[in-house]
Each structure stands twice: as C-alpha cells, then as structure tokens.
Structure 1
Amino acid sequence: MSKASSSHTWYRPFALAMFASMLSISGTLMTQFAVITWAWQTTGSTIASGLITVTSFSAVVGVSLFSGALVDRWNRKKAIIVTDIIGGITTGLILLLHQANQLQIWHLAILGLVLGTLEAFQFPAYMASITMMVEPEQRSRANGMFETAWNLAEIISAALGGILLALIGLDGVLLIDLASFAVIVLAISLIHIPQPESTGEVPGSLLLDVVAGFRYLLVRPSVLLTVLLFTSINVAYGTYQGVFRPMVLVFTHNSEQILGFALAAVSIGNLIGGIFATIWKGPKKRIPIILLSWSVMSSFGFVLAGLGRSLPLWLVGRFMAGVLNMIAVTLSSAIWQDNVDEHVQGRVFGIIRLISQGTVPISAFLATFLVQIVIGPAMQPGQGLANLVGGLFGTGDGASMSLAMVSTGLIFGVLLPLVGFLIPAIRNLDSQGSDGHQDAQSTGDMTHLEAGSFSHE
C-alpha cells in the first residue's frame, strides 16, 4: 500500500491545487448560473431552466459506472488536466454559438451532459488523489480544504454571477470561465500527485473492474447503507436543484441579484462549515453527527427555505444548510476514505457517486415536470390543491414549487436520516475499524469472492 505524502510536504501543493480549483469552479458555476437564468428568462419554463441540471446529473450517474474504474487505470493527474481542457473547449463552443445568435435550449442539454461527464471523472480522481497526498490523520482537514475551495467558488459565482450577467452579459461570463480553465490546467501541471504502488497485475476487463467495485461495497454493508441513506436525501436535493431558482425568480419578479444572494448564502454556510472541518480533527463517533447534521440541514435548507417568500428567510435557511451539510460531507468522505483500500478507490468512489447521485436527476426532472404539468395548475386560485394547502403555501406557480420543495425535504431530508439511528450497520460504522474489515469478515465466503475479483485489475 502506498504511503501518503508526509505532513511536512502535502500542504503546499495541495493548497495550490485547491486555490486553482476554486478559481476554475467559480468560472464554471458562473456559467451555469448565467445559462440557467438565460433559459428561464427566454422561455419561462421550469423544464427548460432545469434542463442543464437534469442532463448534468444524469451524465454523472451514467458515466460514474465506468469512470472510477478508468481513473484507477489512468494517471490521476493527467485525468484531471484532460477533463479540464475538454471543459474549456465546451465553454468556448457555447460562447461561439451565443455570439452567432444560434444558442438554443437543446445546446444547454449538451453542455449539461459534458459537464456531468467531466465531473464523473474528476470526483474519483480528486478523492483518490487526496488519499495519496495526505496522511490518514489529516484527511478530514484535507477534505475540509477541498470543500472550502468548492464553497468559496460557489460564493464568488453566486455573488458575482447576477451582477456580471447584468454588466457584461453571457459572453463576458463565458470568457471568464475560459480563463479559469487555463488557471487550473497550469496549476495541476505544477504539482506532484502520487500514484498508488502497482499491484503487479495486468489490467483486465473494464466491466469486471466495475463489478469488482460493486462487490467491494456489497461485502461492506455498513458503508453501502450509509451511501444509500445519502442517496435518499438527494431526492430532496434534486427537487431543490430543479425548482429553487425559478421559485426565487417568480417571487422576486426575475431579480437576478436576489437570486445570486440567496445562492451565495448556502455557499457562505458551506465555507464556514468547511473551515470548521479543516481545523477540527473530527469526533470519535462520526455517524451520529452526520445523521443529525443531515436532518437539521434539511429542516433549514429545504423546509424553511421552501416556505420562504423573501430574501431573509432564504438567507437563514440556506446558510444553516450549508454549515451543517459541510460538516456531514467532510465526515462521511473521511469515513469512506478510511474504509476503502487505496488501490480501488477510483472505481469504488465512482460507484458511490453513481449510487448517491442517481436520485438527483430523476427527482429534479420529476419536480420540474410535475410543477409545470400537474402541481402548478392545481395550485392556481380556486383549484382543489390550492384550496387544501393554499393557506400555508399560497397559490400560483411559485407556491407549487414551494410545495414540491417542502414536501420532499420533510420526507427524504428530515425524517430518513433519523431512521439511520435505528439501523445497527449504520450506527456502528465508526467501530468497524479501517478498511471495513469487520464488514468484510462478517460476510464469510463472499470476502474471498470479492478479493478474487481484483485479479482483473
């Protein structure tokens, strides 16, 4: 097993990579903000504005089936650089189409598919790189730095996205994104990312590598059940992704600035949570903190924010969601890194991404579709559903989005994490020991079956 970089050498190159990532992610997120706002203002359709979200997460889900296994075969540094170059080329094409007045809604679907595909490769590549660059006792901190960089980017993009879109238009935002891709490619080129020591085995079938990744999780039920719980919470998150932006625009008469501030609130919360996670070594019992954080996060981020009709409630709800979510994410990432062997982390993290993100595009699509076709008409004044719940949610298009966000948030976000306390395999994950050995041993002969599958790596 390869040794991670020592505590004296990992910090500077890792910090450089995170700073460059922050700039790159800022540009990409500003592009997403700009094109989603452009789609809503152009069409007034929740389906159109949610198209990039649905296609992006769909690509993450589909490609994650194989991306992790490929990352295990490839040089992880080169994988990050190549995906960023492809992202820059895609942004350039969108810019050319808009300048030629040829940009269509279906082009945003292509953009979403490309961005999702690239994310499916970068997530396991970055997660596995953290394992190789950072010693185990520092990984919670490193994950905190990774998430902090992401959330600083979200703050920058949300705060500036609406302002820049109004000042320099979509073309200007896309040009900034192109420059950010150049920064991240240069930065990653300058740092050293260790590779795992070779096992001496000849790579075999990619499909068998994917199957091996699934088997690895199946013989570790504690890890798998925790991932499945995260998956259910993402039903609420997918609904939020699909309806929150148009809901805010409806209630604020298409104010891009207020939407930007509302989106920045969760990023600021994520930043505070990420900084806390960076300086905090974490509790000995991580699972109770994760479950409580997810539940309370959903109470603020989906229920309170969904009931909100003005900026103050959106700010409070999304800020608190950001703080608590970041604590849960950094702790759960550390658990997965501690319980997965480093030479298979690429494929296993890719499959974790596949499973956990699988509900996001489905729920985002269903939410936008139902809001426009079913819930929206039923929430108009005088209609049956409006008469039933209109006293709490109001009536009209915005009220239908609010209803969808609050109901899924209560069921999948608030209640389901609390169910985790009733499941011993989840509740006792902290006591499993490194690499999930107790889980694997408890499955008897399946351990030998799983171990043999890695001979095809």
Structure 2
Amino acid sequence: MSPSEPGSGREDVGGWKMMEQNGPREGRDWVFPFFFIWGGQQFSLIGSQLAQFALIWYLSRVSATVLATATMIGILPGVVLGPLVGALVDRWNRRRVMIVADGVVALASAGLAYLSWRGLLHPWQVYVALLIRAVGQGFHWPAMQASTTMMVPKRHLARVGGLNQAMRGAVEVGGGPLGSLLLEILPFHWIMGIDVVTALLAILPLFFVHIPQPTGAAERRKLTLWQDVRLGWKYLWGWPGMSLLLIMSMVVNFLVIPAFYLTPTVVFQYFQGLPRHLGAMQAGWGLGVVLGGGLILGVWGGFRRRMVTILTGLVGIGLGILIIGLTPAWAFPLAVVGIFICGLMNGVAIGPVSALIQSVVPPEMQGRVFTVIMAGTLAVSPLGLAVAGPIADLFGVRFWYVASGILCTAIGLGGFFVRPILHLEDRGAAASPQAQTLPAGADPEEREGG
C-alpha cells in the first residue's frame, strides 16, 4: 500500500491504512442505521433456531448416525472454507455479501419446505440444504462482524457484543419450547416457511442502509486470492497476542464444548434426574447468558482493558464447570447454580472477543481474522467430543467436568501473566508484521527482502 498522506484522513497503523471518514458515525447518528439492520438479523436468528430444532427433530426420527452426519456437515464448511471465505469477504462489498448469504439460506429453507409439502423429503436432501445453509452462514457471520466495526463507535462495541450474546441466550432458552410447540400445531414445511420469512426480514433493511466499506479493496484485488489468504494467515500468526488468543480459544473450546454436550448424561446418570431437571439446567444456562451478555456486559460494558473482562469471564466459566463436577448427587440445585455461573460468565467472556478484534484489527483484515478464529474453534469441537466420550465412560462423567473446570480456570488465570495476551490491545494492529500490497503475480514472501 502507498504511504499515508498528510491531511488525507488516513492513519498508517502497522502498515495498514485506516480511514477515519469511512468509519462509524459519531454521536447517536449510528444508532438507528445499525439497529435497523441488527433487528432484522435477530428475526433471522429466531427463524434459524426454529428451523434447526425442526431439522433435528426430523433427522433424529431416522437414526443417530444420520443426525451425527448432519452435525458434521454443518461444521465442515466453516472449518474447510473459513480462511478462503474471509479473504472473499474482505474483497467484496459486505452489505451485498449479507444479502446474498441470507438469500441463499432462505432458498435452501424454501426448498426443504416445498419438498416436505409434496411428501418428497429425504435425508440426503436435508444434507444438501444443511451444506448450503452452512456456507451461507459462513459468509454472513464475518461480513456482519466486520460491518459492525464500520457502523458502531469503538467505545460501544463491547456493549453490542453483550447484546448479541444476550439475544443468543434468549433464543436458546425459548427456541426449544417454542419449536416443540410449533411442531405440535404446524407441519414441518410451515416451520421452514417461517425461516424463509425471517430471512427476508433480515435482508430488507440491508437495501435501505448504507454500510461503510474499508478502503483499499481495489488495491487488494491486485493480489491473487491465494496471496490474500496467505497474507491473512501471516498477519494473524505474526502477531503474538492474537495468535495466542486463537490458541487459547481452541483449547477452551476443546474442554468446554464437551462439558455442555454431556449435560444430559450427568443429569440422568449421575443425578438420576428427570426431564424437568434437564430443563432446569438448560434454563439456568440460558438465563445466565442473557444476564451476562445483556445486563452485565450490555449495560456495564466490561473493564477498560477488554482482555481483563475476557479472562475474568473465562475463570468464571471454569469455576462454574468445576462446581457441577464437584456437586454431590443429592445436591442437584447446586449444579443448576454452577451452570448458571457458566452462562453468566460465558456472556462476559465471549462478548468482548468480537469487540476486541473489531477495535484492534484493521477493517480490511477483519473478514480473514474472524473466519480463521471461527475455523479453529469449530475444528476442535468434534475432537473434544471424540475424546470426552470415552474418558467419561472410563472415569465417570464427573471426571471431565472436574478436569476441564480446573484447566479452564488455570488458563484464564494464566492469561493475566502472559504479557502478549494481557496487553494485546495496547500494541493493537502495530503488533502485526508490516503488510504491504504486492503487484499481481508477486509472492507475499518477496516483501521480506524489499
């Protein structure tokens, strides 16, 4: 890239140009445009949750193998295509990416609705639709996260992240009961039709609201797509704090995700519970996420240093899991308290991660950074489940809760003593390698010698 010019409104940060005039509006002018789009996205989130519940219900009636295959199909696109998707999102107009992505998801749901209505629906068709939906959502999420950076002032990013977590928690709490109620009174194709309508509600505001785009898209197109992908990887791994955050996220997901998937096992086998006890655990988790993301983070906004908020939440998640693992079989309410703490601290820990990336990574790099982190965290989830199952069978399900709770707490506490992690925001984008645009056909490695 060419050097920044005095008076041009550009700030050269770590070799990446940041455009002040192309960023979020000041004052309160950003509120209506952003929340107009955000509101439509929340309708889509509800529709997607209902569709997911209906699809799980349909596939679970076929076989466990079919359901497991569908789960893997939903995960693989994000893992395999993540870095490529991020490079494309950084090249393309992000508003158009979201319109097309939501439209593709809506078409997939419409196809399932039609096949179900005609009585022609088979599992392989659901697999195809799930693959299409996963690819569409894989484009939509980084585009929305990167667009948020361009619309929301930096000081409000953590609050917006908290609101997102609160909405996800509310949908998780209400999605199951609402989905089961709708399946009792509506046929399957009507549920998929609801998903189509809510997707259209998410698309509509995008036609009326301008989303600022990062600068330099034309210059980046001089690179081949593969060079763009490599540049994103080099940017991320050349920044010790950001790469350590990715590794930490992957390890935590490896430990924590299986603990939540094992919740029905610990309720029914260890606590000798009934379905209402499992419902209590799910409600405790959902309520904690809503309060942690909405009330605590949405109102308070977290500590000034976002990494302190993230690490504090991580310690809280570990302690909550540990409480579940150490709870005696006769003290089930204490386990509900433990999972409530997990949900509460999950909202505190996860919300600021997006805000941190949005505030320190140049907007023109965010698609690649978000998708690499998403791919890494998604990739370890099936691995964690594959390891946790046999260990729980061999040593008892409580063993995984105790071990993962201790390790998660230790990782959170240890982060306070790792300077590149704790001071990640201080170094900001300047911690990255000096990245410069190359002429078409040049190899990114060539810049090292220039």
TM range (shorter): 0.7 to 0.9
Structure 1 distance, partners of 2:406, 2:188, is 38
Residue 451 of structure 1: aligned partner? 436
Q: What letter corresponds to residue 420 of structure 2 in structure 1?
A: A
Q: CA RMSD in A?
A: 3.4
Change (3 A) 1:156 1:141: same
Bigger Cα displacement from structure 2, 73-82 vs 159-168: 159-168
Match of 2:234 among 198, 215, 218: 215
Paired residue secondary structure (2:416): helix
Structure 1 distance, partners of 2:72, 2:335, is 23
Residue 186 of structure 1: aligned partner? 204
- Aligned residue runs from structure 1 range 21-60, under 5 A: 21-43=41-63, 45=64, 47-60=65-78
Structure 2 distance, partners of 1:408, 1:34, is 34
TM-score (norm 1): 0.79
Structure 2 distance, partners of 1:412, 1:152, is 28
Q: What letter corresponds to residue 415 of structure 2 in structure 1?
A: G
Match of 1:18 among 9, 23, 38: 38
Counterpart contact for 2:325–2:399, Cα < 8 Å: no
Residue 124 of structure 1: aligned partner? 142
Match of 1:349 among 358, 370, 382: 370
Where does the alignment leave 5 or more consecutive residues of structure 2 unmatched? 1-18, 445-450
Residue 354 of structure 2: aligned partner? 333
- Corresponding position: 1:421 with 2:440: no
Structure 1 distance, partners of 2:277, 2:363, is 44
Paired residue secondary structure (2:436): helix
Counterpart contact for 1:238–1:359, Cα < 8 Å: no
Counterpart contact for 2:313–2:346, Cα < 8 Å: yes
How far did residue 252 of structure 1 move? 9.2
Residue 283 of structure 1: aligned partner? 303
Structure 2 distance, partners of 1:120, 1:22, is 17
- Corresponding position: 1:232 with 2:227: no
How far did residue 169 of structure 1 move? 4.8
Change (3 A) 1:42 1:248: farther
How far did residue 3 of structure 1 move? 2.4
- Corresponding position: 1:92 with 2:110: yes
How far did residue 247 of structure 1 move? 7.1
Residue 399 of structure 1: aligned partner? none
Bigger Cα displacement from structure 2, 94-103 vs 329-338: 94-103
Structure 2 distance, partners of 1:245, 1:101, is 33
Structure 2 distance, partners of 1:345, 1:55, is 25
Change (3 A) 1:67 1:417: same
How far did residue 184 of structure 1 move? 0.9
Q: What letter corresponds to residue 252 of structure 2 in structure 1?
A: I
Counterpart contact for 2:321–2:401, Cα < 8 Å: no
- Aligned residue runs from structure 1 range 259-270, under 5 A: 262-270=281-289
Structure 1 distance, partners of 2:181, 2:371, is 36
Match of 1:166 among 184, 200, 203: 184
- CA deviations over 1:236-288 (Å, ceiling 9, x no partner): 34425655468768899995x87666545433322222222222233123323
- Corresponding position: 1:7 with 2:2: no
- Aligned residue runs from structure 1 range 103-122, under 5 A: 103-122=121-140
Change (3 A) 1:319 1:118: farther
How far did residue 300 of structure 1 move? 2.4
TM-score (norm 2): 0.80
Structure 2 distance, partners of 1:454, 1:269, is 51
Counterpart contact for 1:159–1:261, Cα < 8 Å: no
Counterpart contact for 1:27–1:177, Cα < 8 Å: yes
- CA deviations over 1:348-401 (Å, ceiling 9, x no partner): 22222222322123334x25xx74xx578xx5xxxxx4xxx5xxx5xxxxxxxx
How far did residue 224 of structure 1 move? 1.1
Paired residue secondary structure (1:197): coil
Change (3 A) 1:299 1:139: same
Q: What letter corresponds to residue 29 of structure 1 in structure 2?
A: Q
Change (3 A) 1:199 1:207: closer
Where does the alignment leave 5 or more consecutive residues of structure 1 unmatched? 380-384, 394-401, 441-446
Paired residue secondary structure (1:332): helix
Q: What letter corresponds to residue 241 of structure 2 in structure 1?
A: S
Q: Which has the higher helix share?
A: 1
How far did residue 160 of structure 1 move? 1.2
Counterpart contact for 1:307–1:406, Cα < 8 Å: no
Structure 2 distance, partners of 1:102, 1:308, is 50
How far did residue 108 of structure 1 move? 4.4
- Corresponding position: 1:406 with 2:391: no
Counterpart contact for 2:285–2:340, Cα < 8 Å: yes
Counterpart contact for 1:91–1:178, Cα < 8 Å: yes
Residue 156 of structure 2: aligned partner? 138
Counterpart contact for 2:322–2:406, Cα < 8 Å: no
- Corresponding position: 1:65 with 2:83: yes
Structure 1 distance, partners of 2:280, 2:439, is 48
Counterpart contact for 1:84–1:181, Cα < 8 Å: yes
Counterpart contact for 2:166–2:289, Cα < 8 Å: yes
Instruction: Give the percent of matched residue pairs that are identical in Structure 1 and Structure 2.
Output: 24
Q: What letter corresponds to residue 54 of structure 1 in structure 2?
A: M
How far did residue 71 of structure 1 move? 0.8
- CA deviations over 1:422-453 (Å, ceiling 9, x no partner): 43321332432x42x2x33xxxxxx34x3356
How far did residue 191 of structure 1 move? 2.0
- CA deviations over 1:86-145 (Å, ceiling 9, x no partner): 111112223334445554444444344333322221121011111100122222222223
